Amino acid sequence: MPLFGRKKSDDPAPLDRTREPLPPPPEPGPSGLRTLDDHRDYLLSCLEPLPAFSQHVLDALGLSLCEDVYAPISMPRFDNSAMDGYAVRAVDVEAAGDESPVSLPVVGEVAAGQDALHRLSPGTAIKIMTGAPLPAGADAVVPYEATDRGSSDVRVYAPSTAGQHVRYVGEDVEAGTHLFSVGQQLGPRDIGLLAGIGHDQVLVRPRPRVAVVSTGTELVEPGLELGNDHQIYDSNSYLLAAAARQAGAHVFRVGLVSDDPEQVKQLITDQLVRADLVVSTGGVSQGDYDVVKAVMPELGATDFTQVAMQPGKPQGFGLVGDDRTPMIMLPGNPVSAFVSFEAFVRPAIRRLMGVTPYTRPTVRARVTHPVSSAPGRRQLARGIVTVDEDGTRLVELAGGHGSHLMADLARANALVVLPEDVTAVEAGEDVDVWLLDEVA
């Protein structure tokens, strides 16, 4: 069954989200706001990995395996040649040298894919190509370069030893070997090995179908004319669709909807037939037109809260519609939306995919300039990480803290994570960072 374009009703065992009530949301932390960790853990506790599908191995790239895989065949399947040359008995050419070549009659030939029809008799040679089965009676291969490449007789100019240039059955993988475990995320080399043992299908968790929606009456689709002096282009649905795709999701970028309660409700409802997760931006703060917060409780999403983080303080979450599809409602400022994606949506996508760890690994880096942070909030500042000639990881901030500063976000390659109780870091101190890109 194709994974793309599948409807939820196609799922072999649709998730039954109706039985278990949601756990109660966590209590506020020391600052009076919910901590980032509590909010993320709460979201994750309300999600379960998607049901497994049998999938073509190539389309399983990046997906999490739902079966243990054992090798049905050995690799190599048979003793074979590692070189183009002549199959011989090593003992027949042990005296060979530049000045004292050994001459052997060539009694046959075997290429890759062919059966080795003849048994090698003592004192003879059989032409053999790389990957061809070693004829019975032979125990070594002499490469062409050590011979005169003769056709009816061959002169061998170098001695050989038993086993030379022979690849033995099972020396790579023995039939029955346990190769892959449940939960393993498949990379290109794994897919090569799966194909090598003959698997065209594997059982994996599918890519979550993630619908991304921007809300805001001021928004205009990129490529269209801005209608008045105060309209802006919708960057969030592109930013988050790209980030979700990079995280492994199959993304539907739904685009934008104005701050009209009925339109927001209708558009979200329309997505529920296909989405495993809905992500929206905007409309979750205190404003008069913050409609997401106003209308989503009618569809079942009720957890609107403030998280002790900067940026990304206002957050919404809930299960919406009859089948209680998870929906994460992020703040509208683009940097807040992105940082919230990293803190909550990326882990949620990974949880749906059954891929661990859910969170980005934290690494350490040395700040090159002093950094300040608001008390009581976990700071997730845009940073630029480099590696100096001693191999020390350095980080400087990319511009200011403003959550509208998109160009600084684009040139950053990391988020600098400062704990809630830290208000200042001096140059030369080490801090935690999440690397967003590979840093040399």
Q: Which is nearer to ligand MOO, 124 or 236 (CB)?
A: 236
Please state whether the peptide bond connecting residue 76 to the residue before it is cis, i.e. omega within 30 degrees of 0: yes
Q: Which is nearer to ligand LQZAQKY5, 276 or 290 (CB)?
A: 290
336 binds ligand LQZAQKY5 (CB under 6 A): yes
Subset of residues 198 to 217 that bind ligand LQZAQKY5, contact rule: CB under 6 A: 214, 216
Q: Which of 351, 350, 274, 321 is nearest to 10 (CA)?
A: 274
Point out which span in 2-10, 43-51, 306-314, 410-418 binds ligand MOO (CB under 6 A). 306-314
Among 206, 248, 312, 318, binds ligand MOO (CB under 6 A): 312
Contacting residues for 422 by C-beta, under 8 A, at least 6 apart? 373, 379
Q: How far is the CB of 344 from ligand MOO (least distance, A)?
A: 13
Point out which span in 20-28, 130-138, 207-215, 307-315 binds ligand MOO (CB under 6 A). 307-315
Q: How far is the CB of 243 from ligand MOO (least distance, A)?
A: 16
Number of residues forming the site for ligand LQZAQKY5 (CB under 6 A)? 25
Q: How far is the CB of 292 from ligand MOO (least distance, A)?
A: 15
State both tokens at 374.
Answer: 């608001």
Residue with tokens 């209708």, as numbered in its chain: 266
Q: Is 54 exposed, middle or buried (0-12, 13-18, 19+ CB in 10 A)?
A: middle
Subset of residues 378 to 437 that bind ligand LQZAQKY5, contact rule: CB under 6 A: 403
Q: Which of 391, 237, 432, 400 is nearest to 311 (CA)?
A: 400
Q: Which is nearer to ligand LQZAQKY5, 164 or 280 (CB)?
A: 280
User: 131-147 as b/e, with b when 16 or more CB fall inside 10 Å?
Assistant: ebbbbebbbbbbbeebb
DSSP 341: I
Q: How far apart are CA 129 and CA 331, in angstroms?
A: 64
Q: How far is the CB of 44 from ligand MOO (least distance, A)?
A: 21
Q: How far is the CB of 226 from ligand LQZAQKY5 (least distance, A)?
A: 12
Specify the pairing of strand 250-257 against strand 314-320. Answer: unpaired
State both tokens at 24.
Answer: 């109660």
Q: Which residues bind ligand LQZAQKY5 (CB under 6 A)?
A: 214, 216, 218-219, 232, 234-236, 281-287, 290, 311, 313-314, 331-334, 336, 403
Q: Which residues bind ligand MOO (CB under 6 A)?
A: 310-313, 331, 333, 336, 403
